[in-house]
Chain A
């Protein structure tokens, strides 16, 4: 792998590692902070909603206390029509009730604002158990109304004459959907994210309100009822993290009904479920932004580093190519020093070195030439000396032959 590639990958990898570490740190720090904030604000919201529900129920409780003392209802001489018309006035004035009924002490309906199920005996139910004991029943019974065929919250009270004798019972019904108005007004959950689930359970855990799953009202218990009961033992608010059947994880803030003034409450529990992905959306968004910024930085830095590595590797490559040429004996090409840094200095030094080498090599060649010339001259001289020696010898031979003793020798030539 080439220097530039190695350098680019190393730097890019390093930046990415730093990015992952910082992003994770930011995210997990934020998540824990946000979790605390969310728990706190949700508990506060749950507390406020329950307070509003209690106030609304207290108002109805107070309404019924007044209605139960109404002169027409308490008078033994009132006719069925008079009672019905009086109840219609209450219904039309208070604007919270879907219907009012008046029953005889035997639980037989003699007046009803809806005109439904008249002259029939009402079956026993939790609100009847309370009023037959002479007590008021305020929202302790949430059930499907046999006459209206919709889920209602019952308020009931004995009606006593001036002598304190029970002359009948007045029963008021509030449609469960009226709770939606209270929850909506306080929390604005409908206008906000519809993934926020709000539900109310009675003291048995039966769902009496759900902004999400209206089909299960009065038929199912709320999510995780056992865990909620344990958590709220001796407490009014709390938070749990749990998973719904869909597999989605939720933060669930809980608040228990405490009552208001002389309305004691009925042990209802309100639960606000917020999907964790929604709760931590801001942290996730920040994490994604940080990650995106780091990725952008990593890309930009990698490109810059790649170009920088090129400025380093290119002169080195040129130097290498030049070294190859010098090795081939091509002394005449110089190396241009493109940069004013250590690499430029190296190129200059390399040029200088090559120049020096060139000079040294040139001197050596001259010397070698001289030596070779001298050797040649020596050879020539040696040969010349040899020839002279032969000539001398010949001369001696000729000189000897001219004497009588040497007449018998014949010289043919000398090379």
Chain B
């Protein structure tokens, strides 16, 4: 055997030797890629339910102007008929989050659907009202009359009962009817009710027809605080997406300030109402900025904070026999996203 043959043989032998190690290497890479692929999950859009309410206009602006896409988050906004339908859809597991009212979020937690508030959208001052027949002079005149709210134990129920209690009326003094806010005017006209809880665009339409405002959200402070809330699981699993959603909404809020007309047109189109009615609703609500929001969500002692409002709502539910356990509001209010946004603003 010549030197060349031996060298060739050695190279062949080395090839065998290397093949084993290459084989193990390839197997290892395949396993690693396989494992990493199995953990890669295609992110589904975050479904958020909302109803017609001027305060939620920013969400539609964010969608229409592509702010969600810009912030690389996939969001599906699902417009429902009323807050009850939004909550029911959320209860059934069809939504990841909702634009809703704080008392409803507390009740969802009571129903063992862990839900966390991540952002305060607005405070209703004159946006929510109880409109009544023209002949009624005040809420006191509702004794023995029929008043509507949106759903049992909903924020609407609390608002109506809270307003009545302020004039010394309780549940035994009044009859009630469950009617969605958007159908209140029709119910009034059909004589089904004497007064009912509603908001824009029904508020303006009712006033135009001579109906009277008997109570405003500001009369029962702390009850009607609109918030953005998500399932606790979503908050835990997709915190980055929630932060992106909040950035998008804040950008939409900025856009609304600088291009009010266009923003109103966009939101009105999405909600199936008119820009004028929406504009009118806008004037009755307060939108906290990031700093105010953070204060509302973290300050437990302030006058207008979620904690204070939450305690009032919880007490109300407890007094009415609807809560069976004490709630730790820290588990319902999650300010970490606003803290991050506040840091970004500095």
Contacts and interface: CB of A to CB of B under 8 A. Distances in A.
A299 B28 CA distance: 11
Interface in B303-324: 318-324
A55 B23 CA distance: 64
B175 A98 contact: no
Contacts of B17: 4-5, 306
A177 interface: yes
A148 B24 CA distance: 66
A107 interface: no
B141 interface: no
Interface string A96-122: 111100000000000001111010000
Interface in B106-124: 110-112, 114
B324 A114 contact: no
Contacts, number: 93
A361 to B, nearest CB: 22
B112 A181 contact: yes
A98 B153 contact: yes
Interface stretch (B45-53, B63-71, B87-95, B280-288): B87-95
Contact of A81 (B94, B110, B172, B323): B172
Interface residues of B, number: 36
B13 interface: yes
B16 A324 contact: no
A194 interface: yes
Given A91-B320, A95-B324, A97-B321, A115 B175 contact: yes
Contacts of A149: 151-152, 178
B20 interface: yes
Contacts of B233: 194
With most chain B CB atoms within 10 A of its CB, the pick from A99, A175, A214 is A214
Contacts of B177: 116
B172 A98 contact: no
B188 to A, nearest CB: 18
Contacts of B174: 115
Given A85-B172, A181-B112, A92 B16 contact: no
A321 B6 CA distance: 9
B103 to A, nearest CB: 15
Interface in A1-26: 1-2, 4-5, 8-9
A137 interface: no
A81 B174 CA distance: 10
B112 A180 contact: yes
A73 to B, nearest CB: 14
A289 to B, nearest CB: 15
A163 interface: no
A98 B16 contact: no
A84 B111 contact: no
B171 interface: yes
Given A150-B152, A190-B114, A321-B6, A95 B171 contact: no
A172 to B, nearest CB: 11
A141 interface: no
Interface in B126-153: 151-153
Contacts of A93: 321
A234 interface: no
Interface residues of A, number: 46
B171 A118 contact: no
A166 B153 CA distance: 32
A25 to B, nearest CB: 23
B176 A116 contact: yes
Nearest to A320: B1
A181 B324 contact: yes
Contacts of A177: 110-112
A215 B322 contact: no
B170 interface: yes
Interface in B15-43: 16-17, 20, 24
Given A92-B321, A115-B174, A8 B112 contact: no
A215 B324 contact: no
A94 B321 contact: yes
A326 interface: no
Contacts of A85: 170, 172
A391 to B, nearest CB: 59
B152 A2 contact: no
A81 B92 CA distance: 37
B201 to A, nearest CB: 24
A347 to B, nearest CB: 18
B25 to A, nearest CB: 11
Contact of B152 (A95, A114, A184, A324): A114
A214 B91 contact: yes
A95 B172 contact: no
Closest 9 CB pairs of A and B: A215-B92, A115-B176, A180-B112, A84-B172, A92-B321, A177-B111, A5-B16, A91-B321, A95-B321
15 contacts: A1-B16, A5-B17, A9-B20, A88-B172, A92-B320, A98-B322, A113-B171, A114-B176, A118-B175, A149-B178, A178-B324, A181-B112, A190-B114, A213-B93, A215-B94
Given A95-B321, A149-B151, A184-B112, 17 more contacts: A5-B16, A9-B20, A84-B172, A88-B170, A91-B321, A92-B319, A93-B321, A94-B321, A96-B324, A98-B322, A114-B176, A115-B171, A115-B174, A116-B175, A116-B178, A178-B324, A215-B92
Interface of B: 1, 6, 13, 16-17, 20, 24, 91-94, 110-112, 114, 151-153, 170-178, 233, 318-325
